[in-house]
Amino acid sequence: MTAPDSSPAGDSAPRVAPNFITEIIERDLNSGKVRQVVTRFPPEPSGYAHLGHIFASFLDFQTAAQYGGRYHLRLDDTNPELATQEYADAIADDLRWLGWDWGEHLYYASDHFEQYYAYAEQLVTQGDAYVDSVTGDEMARLRGDARTPGTPSPYRGRTPEENLDLLRRMRAGEFADGAHVLRAKIDLASPNMKLRDPVLYRILRGHHYRAGDAWCIYPMYDFQHPLQDALEGVTHSMCSLEFVDNRAIYDWLMERLGFEPRPHQYEFGRRGLEYTITSKRKLRKLVEAGAVHGWDDPRMPTLRAQRRLGVTPEAVRAFAAQIGVSRTNRTVDLSVYENAVRSDLNHRAPRVMAVLDPLPVTIENMSGTQTLSLPYWPFDVVRDSPDGLVALPTGERVAPEVAVRDVPLTRELVIEREDFNPEPPKGFKRLTPGGTVRLRGAGIIRADRFDVGADGQVTRVYATLLGEDAKAGGVIHWVSAEHGVPAEFRLYDRLFRVPNPEAANPEDTQAEPIAPDFDPEGIGHEDETKPLDAGFMAFLNPDSLRVTRGLVEPSVKGDPEGTRYQFERQGYFWRDPVDSRPDALVFGRIITLKDAWAKATQKAETPAKAPKPAKAQSPKEQTEKAAPAALTPEQEAGVARLTALGVPDAEARTLARDAALLAFLNGAAQDGTFAQVASWAANDLAPGLRAGEVRVSAADLAPLAALLAAKKVTTRVAREVLARAAQTGEAPAAIIERENLAGGLSDDALSAAVAQVMAANPDKVEAYRGGRTALLGFFTGQVMRATGGKADPATLNAALEAALAG
């Protein structure tokens, strides 16, 4: 379907920038904890690979490659209702096109069903799992909620012998779907809801595309996934932040089943993409509803569609390398991806001319045919060529003066209809009645007269070719009407007209998308049991595909089919690899020359309404509104107690007024760390504490405050760890120790980082020394990035000022 346009990732591929995961890996290698890094990318074959997969697959593959490790591709095909060989083969093919090489390490979860089941029996025998027979609704009720501990199922007390018998009968097919499940016996009172006896196996009859009808019970993702990591010898199991709570199940299974050595799970921030959806269910809905023409429709975010669109694997890898790894979720503007595609094509796509909406032009003072020799490449591409050579459409690299093509100039031409206007607006610099314009590479013409059809539209322009001493206001492209090759042009645009089509209010361009019901990086399973909300269909872009017919210059007829072009002033195009034929050319637009959406969005933004005049208030009303309510005697006493422990007066008064905050602080250590913990409660944790959503205890914050006071962690790291601890309940000190976040930088390491950043940005150093002192913020950010955020801000600021002053 798509031309074989792949190249291996190799040494020239973009690398993974230093991040907290690479720091962990380096620590593990240096300490001897692991001898070889092994990563895996585990998509579920329930649809085609998509743009949501590329960041995680890039991180998995390139991290292993950079550290001389091993990369696995695993198809997590445990759901017989969704997994198919078509999807499995397509995912592998698309990832191979992307440049990832797993060698012999291609795995299917379904090849290990027998091993998973054996581990299930082991858990049952150990008393760590039991067969539950309540309904799904009852099970959910018994689990409790964030404020209420779970209640044991009446079947939780079954003996290991009873459970083993029932599990074997489940496997033998004695029970109906949904009659029983196998659950882990962990902790029904755990603040982590994932640990409240999660389901490990369910009864599900369905023909599996690889296992056939051999099984009627299938493992759940939280059970199968860590077991498969361990079986493959994975060392660093990377997944997105949605799975931070699932890590507790992962670790519990590793401990109960005695795996040694064992893999460890590390979570990174999810990367969403604006103007895009990557839910496989919703992509299937688009296909089934006929909103697109298939999984490979060039408007789709699947890799198969991007291949058909004409995007190269190099562009996709460059985009993935730009995204960056962090511990926080972030939504990436689609323009970042589009600009990576443009940047790749700018030096790949020779320039030719095509007219997409033809208007005939007759040059009345010309006869016969002139053959012009026009360059494929503009000056800037030639100038930037590292070897001084440029490419022909065949791929051969030649001197710029050889990279030319023959273009016929004839009496009958076509130009773009929009390039002639009989009633031009002010500032119009193309062709007008009596006006002049330069034809690209051919000379200057003057429009003398024009014909108009019955519908009032211009049907032909009559022009005169002038000498080179004439002046022209602009330059337009053209094609010989006699020699031009007829072609269909498909003008693709963004599939959705709003940034967040899955959000509660997609028109709000500032809103963060609502949490999806799937893992966009393809490292988990989408929950197919949830009802599908098809509201996103309302935000499809009606102009995502326009089809025109026109002419392209004849030089393209002899070019390889996979040639990508820049049609001058129109965008980047290539021949559709499915529908184009030698006798019926079809060109699809890969990307426009500029980001038209940014300008359109900016234009559409309405100015903020002027505030209504404030209603006049008396001095008494103003005073009453400005002053908070007076503290009660009990609250005043609380302020005194808090200030005596070092809490500033303003924060003490905030805390004294709020029962939820005070209740939290009752568990804090009353020592030198108390003031810092109180500050976090008043400023960082207050919304979550009032909502009852903070899982970490005040007592666990004292070690973090001590590390911050000793400058063993930076303020940024402390706040980041605090936020994660509040969400997960894990002690901050444990996070810092596990991920090697403490220690700061030595003076020598800081000096080396400063010198490195300055050497990489000599122009900005010169500008700073010339008076642009605002660039200090730029240098601070660059050094922070180079040091992984470990530099102390005050020390860094002093070091930068000293170095830049020199």
With contact defined as beta carbons under 8 Å apart, do 274 and 244 qualify?
no
DSSP 772: -
Q: Amino acid identity of 734? A: A
Question: In the numeric block, which tokens belong to residue 745?
Answer: 């930088």
DSSP states along 472-533: -S-EE--EETTTPEEEEEEEE--SBSSS-TTSSSTT-TTSPPPPPSS-TTSSS---TTSPP-
Specify which residues 549 forms β-bridges with.
488
Exposed e or buried b per residue across 606-644, where buried means at least 16 C-beta atoms within 10 angstroms of its C-beta: eeeeeeeeeeeeeeeeeeeeeeeeeeeeebeebbeebbe
Nearest residue to 516 (alpha-carbon basis) of 192, 727, 278: 278
Catalytic annotation, pick one of 74, 185, 262, 270: 270
Catalytic annotation, pick one of 280, 304, 490, 653: 280
Specify which residues 358 forms β-bridges with.
416
The bridge status of strand 236-240 relative to strand 264-268 is: parallel
Q: Classify burial at 797, counting beta carbons within 10 Å of its beta carbon; exposed 0-12, middle 13-18, buried 19 or more.
A: middle
**At a CB cut-off of 8 Å and minimum separation 6, what does 619 contact?**
none
Q: What's the rounded Cα separation, in Å, for the pair 95 and 49?
A: 8
Nearest residue to 48 (alpha-carbon basis) of 280, 271, 276: 280
Residue 280 annotated in active site: yes
Specify which residues 130 forms β-bridges with.
183
CB atoms within 10 A of CB 598: 12
Residue 351 annotated in active site: no
* Three-class secondary structure assignment of 205-221: CCCECCCECCCCEEECH
**Given the structure tokens 């191979």, which residue do they identify?**
96
Q: What's the rounded Cα separation, in Å, for the pair 26 and 32?
A: 10
Residue 426 annotated in active site: no
Q: What's the rounded Cα separation, in Å, for the pair 659 and 712?
A: 32
- Which residue numbers are catalytic? 44, 270, 280
